């Protein structure tokens, strides 16, 4: 079976746009539970300004109190040098830097041009100086809700610039669910050929219902690392109507059913996912927590037994 590496982003990407603050103890309890499921990485939090993302104002406390499990990398989102300093002090296993390949989205999301973002992130990479691995997430790689088409050549150009700076990995993000399987296949083919020495992760949203199809398109074209969010939580505040990330449990179920090895304990993950609506205070998009596993059989109605007896 081909090995697939899954990363969980619910407590960062999933929680960051939730309207009501989720208690620090609840976040820690959730991360500790997810740590027992077999993930390759868990993106715990973001070391951004508490004013910008109040939900993650407890980043230091969360990182300091989680129970780290050997074999799981605890990664954090870092927007700038100050964030990098805080992340290193918190002993993050990996720093995840982010910018948009779309100029307009970068201005809307990060309030700077793409070139300024490259300069800022380059400063972070030089500051870290190889002490911990660095991943760069390129948002809107498959399309921008404010500009439209983002050329693959643009994604490749920015990917090359960060590869030249010595990053360990790149995450290619379908930030607002605009990707389709044919586009994903083409992107995956090009990037796996050009950056075969890097960890390549694809990050999909299910805004238009193509998240699982896009996973398969990427998988069949050389990608073996994916981000997912428990329950399908998340979404981009700069994309009206955008829904959340692909659901981790739905994605893992599909891959395991097809014979791939995700390394994740699906039964344990489903039990955790079923608690998520109570944590966030509302329903979540994930389907598996509603439908259950295919072989979770239902009681046979009495009238069916009566009909069977008559037929016999």
Per-residue b or e along 37-56, where b marks 16 or more CB atoms closer than 10 Å to that residue's CB: bbbbbbbbbbbbeeeebebb
Beta strands in the chain (DSSP E): 5-8, 41-46, 73-78, 94-100, 134-139, 169-173, 199-203, 225-228
Catalytic residue among 37, 144, 173, 236: 236
Give the closest residue to 32 by CA, choosing from 56, 61, 65, 57.
65
- Phi, psi for 15 (deg, rounded to 5): -85, -25
Structure token digits, residue 268? 């344990």
Please check whether residue 90 is in contact with residue 79, taking contact to mean a CB–CB distance below 8 angstroms.
no
- Which spans in 35-102 are helix H? 59-65, 81-89
Of the chain, the end-to-end C-alpha distance in Å amounts to: 44
173 annotated active-site: no
The dihedral of CA 284, 285, 286, 287: what is its sign? positive
Give the closest residue to 39 by CA, choosing from 264, 303, 309, 274.
264
Please check whether residue 132 is in contact with residue 95, taking contact to mean a CB–CB distance below 8 angstroms.
yes
Burial class, 112, CB count within 10 angstroms (exposed 0-12 / middle 13-18 / buried 19+): middle
Structure token digits, residue 267? 């039964």
d(CA 215, CA 184): 8
The secondary structure of residue 246, as a DSSP letter, is: P
Cα–Cα separations (whole angstroms), residue 154 to 140, 143, 149, 150, 195: 11, 11, 11, 7, 15
> Which residues are part of the catalytic machinery?
236
């Amino acid at each position: 079976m081909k090995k697939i590496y899954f990363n969980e982003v619910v407590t960062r990407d999933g929680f960051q746009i939730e309207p009501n603050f989720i208690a620090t103890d609840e976040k820690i309890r959730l991360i500790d539970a997810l740590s027992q499921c077999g993930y390759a990485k868990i993106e715990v939090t973001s070391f951004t300004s508490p004013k910008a993302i109040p939900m993650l104002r407890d980043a230091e406390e969360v990182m300091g109190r989680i129970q780290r499990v050997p074999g799981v990398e605890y990664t954090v989102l870092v927007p700038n040098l100050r964030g990098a300093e805080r992340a290193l002090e918190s002993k993050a296993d990996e720093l995840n830097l982010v910018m948009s390949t779309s100029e307009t989205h970068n201005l809307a999301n990060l309030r700077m041009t793409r070139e300024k973002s490259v300069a800022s992130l380059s400063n972070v990479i030089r500051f870290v100086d190889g002490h911990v691995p660095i991943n760069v997430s390129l948002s809107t790689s498959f399309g921008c809700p404010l500009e439209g088409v983002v050329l693959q050549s643009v994604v490749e150009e920015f990917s090359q610039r960060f590869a030249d700076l010595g990053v360990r990995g790149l995450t290619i993000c379908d930030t607002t669910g605009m990707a389709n399987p044919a586009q994903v296949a083409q992107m995956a083919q090009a990037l796996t050929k050009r950056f075969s020495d890097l960890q390549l992760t694809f990050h999909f949203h299910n805004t238009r219902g193509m998240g699982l199809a896009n996973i398969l398109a990427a998988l069949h074209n050389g990608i073996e690392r994916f981000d997912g969010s428990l329950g399908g939580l998340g979404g981009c505040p700069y994309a009206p109507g955008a829904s959340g990330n692909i659901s981790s449990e739905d994605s893992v179920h599909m891959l395991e059913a097809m014979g791939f090895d995700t390394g994740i304990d699906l039964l344990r993950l489903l039990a955790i996912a079923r608690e998520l609506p109570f944590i966030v205070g509302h329903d979540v998009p994930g389907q598996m927590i509603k439908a259950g596993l295919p072989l979770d059989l239902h009681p046979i109605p009495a009238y069916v037994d009566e009909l069977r007896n008559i037929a016999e």
